[in-house]
Structure 1
Amino acid sequence: MKLRRTSVAIATGLALSLALTACGGDKSDSGSGGKKITIGIKFDQPGIGLKTQDGKYTGFDVDVATYVAKELGYKAEDIEWKQTPSSERENMISNGDVKFIAASYSINDKRKARVDFAGPYLLAHQDLLVRADDTSITKAEDLNSKKLCSVTGSTSAQNVKEKLAPKADLQEYGGYSECLTGLENKAVDALTTDDSILAGYAAQKEHQGKFKLVGLKLSDEFYGVGLKKGDTKLREDINKALEKMKSDGAWEKAVAANFGPAGYKNEPAPAITEKG
């Protein structure tokens, strides 16, 4: 009988110890008592959103998202970055995989049918990247006899194909880095997306001197922060954060740090238009 009571006491003590350990684990998940935020970015866009070989995250979108998260009450170590392919952005927001997305995410009516946006926070223009020695492509119409690359789900390639060069041979790859490899290997003749993204690639050390921007402004691309449809409070809070980022100089600092080395001529910070 005495042995049974001792066993029960030991079991009870062990269970209590495990419970306390579990509670302690919850509290140590992050610097703010376990509170985390998951943010979608690109992992393969130098200057915009890039996961480096040593596991760090860099780029203008990363700086914007980190600033916004801070204004929402999260420290940098509270952020869980999630890779966000262009074709999956709406699904990831709708499914609750991310709190919001800052991933060179151009605002348009088709996307607004499924998600809401805050911002915009950057105005980019669609352009073409070609090999440095290529003189055959100086305008969009020159793509009619060429192989044009962009990523699946991007609006850029469709814009060229439907409006500017209907006879272009469109090649859609999973990521911009794949398009760049194809461009270098002459599997494709041009890569199209926003000039900010193209400038980031062209400025990388391993690519310097190999490619050039044609210098076209084929469209206006207003980058917004994507969030779940109907979450007006979050949109309002993000807009306030973006306004503060512009007013305190952090926006200009991020532009200079991420685009300056490429000689990218950015537009001024756009006015906030996506409101309730």
Structure 2
Amino acid sequence: MRKRMTLLAVVAVAALALAGCSGSDSGTTGSTDAGSTPTAPFEVATDVALTGSPTFDAMTERGSVKVGVKEDQPGLGYLDAATGERTGFDIDIARWIAASLGFSEDKIEFVAIPSANREAAIVNGDIDYYVGTYSITDKRKEQIDFAGPYFVTGQGLLVAADNSDITSEKDLAGKTVCSATGSTPIQNIRDNFPDTKTVEFDTYSQCVDALKDGSVDAVTTDAAILIGYAAQEPDVLKVVGEPFTVENYGVGLPKGDDALRTFINEMFTNGGETWTAIYDATLGQSGTSVEQPAVDQY
């Protein structure tokens, strides 16, 4: 039987988030026309009208969408090197947005961008929007805007399966913790855990490799991401403790593009059934569900 979950339960369920689908329709402007993948819970909109969005104008002139993503996060944003298939909750949220704007799968260019380079990629126009475990913060909002939030999680810890020294964030003194450069988790460790050593890499998968070879004692980022890694190698890795922050995931957008931000927020608000279908096919594979968060119409 399905049930709604708290933040802690979301983290536990994310271990099963290793499947993908594609998604979108609700909240579009104009008629719709079937044109997505057979499993997608959305259709590609046609005759989309979005006045006042320079980002949308650039997409339309180019005839395609450039989306910044992660590709090393199982269940959220993952690229299978063997098949070339992209799967995960964030990937399907990105597809949903593109479809609502009138762009089919073959018109989407996914661009893998490290955490430290996300704001620069948006500001420089290298991508049209970014969907990839991107926590909304006031500091980031000085350079860019966010639509959403579309998901809520919290910072956690990944350690070796045989590690008995670290059971929560209270055990980090004197330990070495790894996270991605430019991420909110690494900044939180620096600010609030002064006795903890930090190591940074461009990607979380590099941190996981360092954990497995013993170079670091723990990896920290959003718990939903860490559970995906632990699920791949349960005999090698485990997640310990409970989330010790609250992270609101948003869609990164060029600053000042209020028309696009409002469009995507309305898509989220009006597209509850589509959001749920995307979640159920990815992070919700256990048969449980979560409440879709309300957007912040700032």
TM more than 0.5? yes
The 5-angstrom pairing of residues 17-166 of structure 1 reads 35-53=63-81, 54-163=83-192, 165-166=193-194
Amino acid at match of 2:216: V
Corresponding position of 1:243: 269
Quick one: which of 235, 251, 258 aligns to 2:282? 258
Structure with greater proportional helix content: 1
CA contact (8 A) 1:124 1:222 kept: yes
CA contact (8 A) 1:199 1:259 kept: no
Corresponding position of 1:212: 238
Corresponding position of 1:226: 252
Corresponding position of 2:293: 270
- Secondary structure of 1:109 counterpart: coil
Structure 1 unmatched ranges of 5 or more: 1-30
- Secondary structure of 2:111 counterpart: strand
- Secondary structure of 1:73 counterpart: coil
- Secondary structure of 2:271 counterpart: helix
Q: Which whole-Å CA distance do the structure 1 matches of 2:241 and 2:279 have between them?
A: 19
Q: Which whole-Å CA distance do the structure 2 matches of 1:254 and 1:202 have between them?
A: 22
CA contact (8 A) 2:159 2:238 kept: yes
Corresponding position of 1:200: 228
Q: Which whole-Å CA distance do the structure 1 matches of 2:267 and 2:206 have between them?
A: 34
Q: How many pairs were matched up?
A: 239
Deviation at 1:244, TM superposition (A): 3.2
- Secondary structure of 2:135 counterpart: coil
Change (3 A) 1:265 1:221: farther
Q: What's the RMSD between the two structures over aligned residues?
A: 2.1
CA deviation map 1:204-241 (0-9, x unaligned): 2xx13221111322111000001000001100111122
Identity %: 41
CA deviation map 1:181-201 (0-9, x unaligned): 111111111000001111111
Amino acid at match of 2:252: G
Amino acid at match of 2:211: L
Amino acid at match of 1:75: S
Q: Which whole-Å CA distance do the structure 2 matches of 1:118 and 1:85 have between them?
A: 20
TM-score (norm 2): 0.75
CA contact (8 A) 1:130 1:191 kept: yes
- Secondary structure of 1:203 counterpart: helix
Amino acid at match of 1:208: P
Higher relative contact order (CA closer than 8 Å, sequence separation 6+): 2
Q: Is it true that 1:191 corresponds to 2:214 in the alignment?
A: no
CA contact (8 A) 1:105 1:225 kept: yes
Amino acid at match of 1:272: V
Deviation at 1:265, TM superposition (A): 7.8
Change (3 A) 1:155 1:48: same
CA contact (8 A) 1:140 1:160 kept: no
CA contact (8 A) 2:175 2:197 kept: yes
- Secondary structure of 1:156 counterpart: helix
- Secondary structure of 2:283 counterpart: helix
Deviation at 1:173, TM superposition (A): 1.2
Change (3 A) 1:208 1:122: same
Q: Computing the radius of gyration over CA atoms, which structure comes out larger, 1 or 2?
A: 1
Deviation at 1:172, TM superposition (A): 0.6
CA contact (8 A) 2:155 2:246 kept: yes
Amino acid at match of 1:83: A
CA deviation map 1:153-192 (0-9, x unaligned): 11102212321x2111101112111111111111111000
Q: Is it true that 1:182 corresponds to 2:210 in the alignment?
A: yes
Structure 2 unmatched ranges of 5 or more: 1-43, 47-59
CA contact (8 A) 2:161 2:234 kept: no
